[in-house]
Amino acid sequence: MSTSEYREGSLEAPTRHPINWKDPEFYNEEKLFAEMERVFDICHGCRRCVSLCNSFPTLFDLVDESDTMEVDGVDKKDYASVVDHCYLCDLCYLTKCPYVPPHEWNLDFPHLMLQAKAVQHKNGESKLRDRILTSTDKVGNLAGIPVVADVVNAVNKNKLARNILDKSLGVHPDAIVPEYHSNTLRKRVKKYKPVNNTAEACEKTTGKVVMFATCYCNRNKPDIGEDLIRLLQHNGIEVKLVEQEQCCGMPKMELGDLEAVERSKEFNIPQLAKVVEEGWDIIAPIPSCVLMFKQELPLLFPEDEQVKKVQEAFFDPFEYLMLRHKAGKLSTDFKNSLGNVSYHVPCHQRVQKIGMKTKEVLELVPDTNIDVIERCSGHDGTYAVKSEYHDISMKICRPVVNKIKQAQVDHYISDCPMAGDQIENGLKDGSHAESPFTLLCHAYGLN
Ligand code: SF4
Ligand code: SF4
């Protein structure tokens, strides 16, 4: 390539290539290491992403401490430490990198890390702890049994038991682990009588919503799911849960277990595609799960027409409410103002490229001031609970925590309840992170 042909960064909109994970070449380690060396070399020359997570500082330290001070001086065995710090938040791809496709350098750092994780998993290198933590359905089904839930919750709050968990399984004693509820969202939803559906179709929305409950909201944060149901019903929107569901597959994807992702997809997608055909839209209360259906499954299964159908009908909840508002179909009969609110935008919502819909909706409430924090909380699914990464995750969260401390707000919220827990853990002042659904319910006078 001549210098005159060279362009610093792409001028076109980024695109994403499907993930070719069924091709045996995807697992060719020689090619994988060659591609990692190529990409790491570009990153070493660029270093824009140094502050995003711990993958990049790990890579740059390896380079700087090598004999050559170049990527060729790094032992390939050490590449795994870069991979281990990546939790696939996608921020480097979407917010920093000028070399993503269609740029000729064709750099997709998160998907390269995913490929490396898939190879590690295929080689049997996944830790038992990680296999347990990502088995959200199995753990939830067991821990959510009445009595068992109480025991699990008691163990999680017991210092001695947590120290044992740290030593035996590698779950950090200071990490907030979620409480389990035997009175799940699936059980609670029965008390909500169907509303008279007064919502008309408008702005790409049908006004009828099927909620993918998510394992997290079903067993760990059912209150949040209830608040979302209340909000929708308050706006005359008919809402029901999908009849049966399994985990969306995001935790298994982060582990590199793509076959487990496929099994979840085969359970969830036919049911979701059926409700779309029946005229329902779909939402989920957790940004990572929404992203799974909007972006990751379509890239992992590009030929699957049902996946595409579900993708097109899947909305972030506030994206949905804002679309209704644009058509004049959102109730603005607010009873309470919200005051000063610090709003943490989770990475998996930022990368949906929908804009700040949560902020836009909450700002409809009079006397409400939303201060946005666009930094990673460092929780990222399971990263913050792992003994070896917890302290780093809290360091990643520190700028978010400091901003909230300085702002002296009436409320702090995140669309992601796990990020909320992480911020709460950083603040350690007895305050609690809230859900934007809960805040909007409060504004409507519903709770
Ligand atoms: S995807 Fe996120 S965690 Fe992974 S390297 Fe990029 S910024 Fe870091
Ligand atoms: S991912 Fe892109 S922006 Fe980030 S360090 Fe590498 S080349 Fe630079």
Looking at the fold, whether 53 and 101 belong to one and the same domain comes out as yes
8 Cβ neighbours under 8 A, 6+ residues apart = 98
Q: Is residue 354 part of a domain?
A: yes
Give yes or no for residue 24 having a pLDDT over 80.
Answer: yes
Q: Is residue 176 part of a domain?
A: no
Looking at the fold, whether 239 and 140 belong to one and the same domain comes out as no
Q: Is residue 179 part of a domain?
A: no
Looking at the fold, whether 109 and 133 belong to one and the same domain comes out as no
Q: Is 435 touching ligand 1 by the criterion CB < 6 Å? A: no
Structural domain boundaries enclosing 112: 12-122
Looking at the fold, whether 354 and 434 belong to one and the same domain comes out as yes
Looking at the fold, whether 144 and 49 belong to one and the same domain comes out as no
Specify the DSSP class assigned to residue 205. Answer: B
Q: Is 46 touching ligand 2 by the criterion CB < 6 Å? A: yes
- Quote the CA–CA distance of 293 and 272 in Å, as a whole number: 10
First to last CA, the chain: 63
Give yes or no for residue 190 having a pLDDT over 70.
Answer: yes
pLDDT at position 145, please? Answer: 56
Which domain-ending residue is among 109, 137, 169?
169
pLDDT at position 177, please? Answer: 79
Looking at the fold, whether 115 and 238 belong to one and the same domain comes out as no
Beta carbons of 340 and 215 less than 8 angstroms apart: no
- Quote the CA–CA distance of 322 and 195 in Å, as a whole number: 21
Looking at the fold, whether 118 and 133 belong to one and the same domain comes out as no
Looking at the fold, whether 266 and 237 belong to one and the same domain comes out as yes
- Of 37, 49, 60, 100, the one to substitute when testing ligand 2's pocket (max ligand atoms within 8 A of C-beta) is 49
Q: Return the percentage of the chain with pLDDT > 70, whole number.
A: 92
Q: Is 407 touching ligand 2 by the criterion CB < 6 Å? A: no
Q: Is residue 1 part of a domain?
A: no
pLDDT at position 142, please? Answer: 58
Give the pairing type, strands 368-373 and 339-344: parallel
pTM for this model (two decimals): 0.91
Which token pair is 314? 């899947």
pLDDT at position 136, please? Answer: 65
Tens-digit pLDDT profile for residues 345-402: 999 999 999 999 999 999 999 999 999 999 999 988 788 888 889 999 999 999 999 9
Q: Is residue 340 part of a domain?
A: yes
Looking at the fold, whether 99 and 50 belong to one and the same domain comes out as yes
pLDDT at position 171, please? Answer: 82
Q: Is residue 385 part of a domain?
A: yes
In the reported structure, the alpha carbon of residue 52 is separated from the centroid of ligand 1 by a whole-number distance in angstroms of 7
Give yes or no for residue 151 having a pLDDT over 70.
Answer: no
Give yes or no for residue 5 having a pLDDT over 50.
Answer: no
101 Cβ neighbours under 8 A, 6+ residues apart = 10, 14, 15, 16, 17, 107, 108
Among 404, 346, 395, which Cα is nearest to 375's?
Answer: 346
Q: Is 96 touching ligand 2 by the criterion CB < 6 Å? A: yes
- Quote the CA–CA distance of 374 and 404 in Å, as a whole number: 12
Mean pLDDT of 11-39: 92
Give yes or no for residue 138 having a pLDDT over 70.
Answer: no
Q: Is residue 268 part of a domain?
A: yes
Specify the DSSP class assigned to residue 195. Answer: P
Looking at the fold, whether 191 and 302 belong to one and the same domain comes out as yes
CATH number of the domain that residue 406 is part of: 3.40.50.1860
Looking at the fold, whether 118 and 132 belong to one and the same domain comes out as no
Which domain-ending residue is among 299, 323, 347?
323
Place of tokens 């109480």: 150
φ/ψ bin of 383: left (φ > 0), alpha (ψ from -120 to 50), beta (otherwise): alpha
When divided into structural domains, the chain yields a total of: 4
Give yes or no for residue 342 having a pLDDT over 90.
Answer: yes
DSSP E strand boundaries for 213-296: 238-241, 281-283
Q: Is 94 touching ligand 2 by the criterion CB < 6 Å? A: no
Beta carbons of 210 and 155 less than 8 angstroms apart: no
Tens-digit pLDDT profile for residues 403-447: 999 988 999 999 999 999 999 999 999 999 999 999 999 999 998
- Quote the CA–CA distance of 162 and 153 in Å, as a whole number: 11
pLDDT at position 294, please? Answer: 97
Tens-digit pLDDT profile for residues 161-177: 778 777 777 888 888 87
pLDDT at position 1, please? Answer: 39
Beta carbons of 120 and 378 less than 8 angstroms apart: no
Looking at the fold, whether 342 and 431 belong to one and the same domain comes out as yes
Which domain-ending residue is among 169, 196, 226?
169
Q: Mean pLDDT, the chain, as a whole number?
A: 90
Q: Is residue 6 part of a domain?
A: no
Higher pLDDT, 95 or 228: 228
